Amino acid sequence: EAGVAQSPRYKIIEKRQSVAFWCNPISGHATLYWYQQILGQGPKLLIQFQNNGVVDDSQLPKDRFSAERLKGVDSTLKIQPAKLEDSAVYLCASSLEFNPNYGYTFGSGTRLTVV
């Protein structure tokens, strides 16, 4: 099966600009996650969707970050306006039903640099 697709792979923007990332999960996967990974740290969950509903967005900085998952398939994560500290890799992951043998699958990520 195809993996989790993310685009763009890299993005460089100036602070105060806006940026959007796109994620296409594995077909049929109901649950989708966005993580932020700052260099040298582990991933931090930003938001979790179940179909098109939000399950957990407690760590999403809602003053500047927003995410949606229309129709319960693709998802977009937006930052507006960006700050220097938003420089990170943004990882998308998806799962159907949890299988202890597989965990869930991450996409390759979008590396954002804010200058």
Partner 1 sequence: GQNIDQPTEMTATEGAIVQINCTYQTSGFNGLFWYQQHAGEAPTFLSYNVLDGLEEKGRFSSFLSRSKGYSYLLLKELQMKDSASYLCAVDRNSGYALNFGKGTSLLVTP
Q: Which residue in the set 16, 44, 62, 83 belongs to the binding site for partner 1 (CB under 8 A)? A: 44
Minimum CB–partner distance for residue 32 and partner 1 (Å): 11
Q: Which residue in the set 12, 54, 55, 84 belongs to the binding site for partner 1 (CB under 8 A)? A: 55
Q: Which stretch binds partner 1 (CB under 8 A): 20-28, 60-68, 76-84, 97-105?
A: 97-105
Applying CB under 8 A, the site for partner 1 has a residue count of 24
CB 78 within 8 A of CB 60: no
- Single-letter code of the amino acid located at 67: A
Can you name the residues that pair with 111 across neighbouring β-strands? Answer: 10, 89
C-alpha 11/C-alpha 86 separation (Å) is 12
- Single-letter code of the amino acid located at 63: D
Can you name the residues that pair with 18 across neighbouring β-strands? Answer: none
Q: Which residue in the set 56, 68, 80, 115 belongs to the binding site for partner 1 (CB under 8 A)? A: 56
C-alpha 63/C-alpha 73 separation (Å) is 25
For partner 1, the binding residues (CB under 8 A) are 31, 33, 40-45, 48, 50, 55-56, 91, 95, 98, 100, 102-109
